[in-house]
Structure 1
């Protein structure tokens, strides 16, 4: 009996080791919610597995998220030093406060590094935040004196661009976040593997665009080839939320409809089986309903992941 137990334990440990060895990306969620709790807003550190050189996907909460991650041993401390040295840049999907507040508040103690985003996003950061009225000018231009701590690097949808001081690159796509406001999706590459992060987005049917379909057409071959390791996508409201009050966000039914489109483009039934779908930007008042509705309606066989602040994920 003891021998059997030891063999079983050995097999289990081997499975854990193999899963770790096969991981391509390490993700540390610094914030996972979609409002109300300012200590836990959208921000995700991502790095190639085995690397400590992260980029931060959105930056709603930074310092408090790193503190939680240090407490959970997902990051080394102290928190301030980790932010300065291990975060090599910020990929900002759009300039709403719940996606940039942590970056702004932490700027005085941060180290020089790039902020990547669409031109209109960077213009908002420079003109509306880094202007000595809302906040000191840590940007490279605008109202003097320009302190120049951050380099604002425009992302052009289409071509892949390298992420400075990391082994990763990114391709950017436009999203509709309550017309006419726009957000962005980031397809991050490490080697031959990819991770897809979407900022806030509405469904094509509600937004009356084809932005998501265009994105799915690009990533469908990566799904087929098993090169896409995870999709991070928002679900802000439960299904009861009226369409006119979505404000450019998704519900469980709308998310699954969009993923079904991706599945069709990637080969039909079963194409998304086991693909990790990380549910971001959950409104706290809707969270339990969102989880229940997604689990009950998940006929696509995707692996639903509900991230927790400070708890490391591997893909």
Structure 2
């Protein structure tokens, strides 16, 4: 065999080897956890920044803690800019799932130092912000309407279920889905898109069986094809209490057992094989007694779907 033939055979072998290697997943979304807990620790409440990978234009998914989380993220080298610069310039807006204080307090407290930017949410959420917080009684009116003078620092952008909206100043798009957070109380989920990849963030939610609703099932029906095609890169969902919490004291939240039941519904729609390895980021754990450790243990022990549970830490930078 000639030297040229040996070279050709060698290149063919290398090519065949490369083709048989597992694909290296590309990072589509960068997420920085500013707050991961569900109440009880005012320095570490629900707030996640998400950006298209390779960009520094972030959208906040809820805003329970902002400045303290940014300080932790800078200390952990998740960011290299000063806290004030990230607050004003890198965060281009917020998607707010509902107006409970553990999801909006950081936004409210830092409003005086913030830049003008949009707030996205269901109409009822934005209306509560304007009437109950931005009213010159609870807090100065940084909103666009209501009690005079309206400072207009935040532009309200109401989202309509079923339609997608571009998130101004970023490479991201969002769809909103209503959730039930206790009888008669509305929360929301945000399906964030970059090109053909998606990240799903749920605010506080109860299970359909407890809430007597179909909101989660309707959301899973939309998301299931994305799971099947590998387009859903991460799912952020709460587990506030361990399984020992009585159902009549859940207050519109999930336990590990209820969370796994809901993931099983998604698996029925998408197929169990498609769920394997799906990153499921567990949010809103209540920091009381041994709750956080119990929730992690109970989810890990009963993970027959073989999803990849992620238990985020404040200030941590994640890639999906």
Residue 207 of structure 1: how far off its partner (Å) = 0.2
Q: Are the aligned partners of 2:230 and 2:274 in contact in 1 as well (CA < 8 Å)?
A: no
Map residues 108-123 of structure 1 onto 2, 5 A cutoff: 108-123=112-127
Secondary structure of 1:124's aligned partner: helix
Question: Shift of the alpha carbon at 1:29?
Answer: 0.3
- Match in the other structure for 1:93: 97
> By how many angstroms is 1:80 displaced?
1.1
Specify the SS of the correspondent of 2:220: helix
Aligned to 2:242: 238
| 2:270 aligned residue | 266
Aligned equivalent of 1:36, options 28, 40, 48: 40
1:300 aligns to what? 305
Q: Is the 8 A contact 1:44 1:58 kept in 2?
A: yes
In 1: Cα distance, 2:166 partner to 2:307 partner: 30
List alignment gaps of at least 5 residues for structure 2: 1-20
Q: Is the contact made by 2:34 and 2:314 (CA closer than 8 Å) also made in structure 1?
A: yes
| Corresponding residue number in structure 2 for 1:275 | 278
Return the TM-score normalized by structure 2. 0.92
Q: Secondary structure at the match of 1:105?
A: helix
Cα contact 1:76–1:82 (8 A) shared by 2: no
When the two chains are superposed, the root-mean-square deviation of aligned CA atoms in Å is 1.1
Q: TM-score, normalised by structure 1?
A: 0.93
Displacement, 1:33?
0.2
Classify the secondary structure of the residue corresponding to 2:193.
Answer: strand
Question: 1:154 aligns to what?
Answer: 158
Aligned to 2:18: none
- Once residues 56 and 80 of structure 1 are traced to their aligned partners in structure 2, the CA distance between those partners, rounded to angstroms, is 15
Could you tell me how far apart the structure 2 residues matched to 1:110 and 1:18 are?
39
**How many residues of Structure 1 are paired with residues of Structure 2 in the alignment?**
297
| CA deviation map 1:287-313 (0-9, x unaligned) | 010000000000000000000000100
- For residues 114 and 53 of structure 1, the distance between their equivalents in structure 2, rounded to whole angstroms, comes to 13
| Structure 1: stretches of 5+ with no match in the other structure | 1-14
Runs of 4+ in 1 over 4 A off after TM superposition: none
Residues 73-117 of structure 1: per-residue CA shift (max 9 Å, x gap): 101231011110000000000000000000000000000000000
C-alpha distance in 2 between matches for 1:114 and 1:298 = 38
Is the contact between residue 270 and residue 301 of structure 1 (CA under 8 Å) also seen in structure 2? no
Aligned-pair CA distance for 1:18: 4.7
Matched, 1:288 2:319: no
Question: Match of 1:151, SS?
Answer: strand
1:233-267 per-position Cα deviation (integer Å, ceiling 9, x unaligned):
00000000000000000000000000000001002
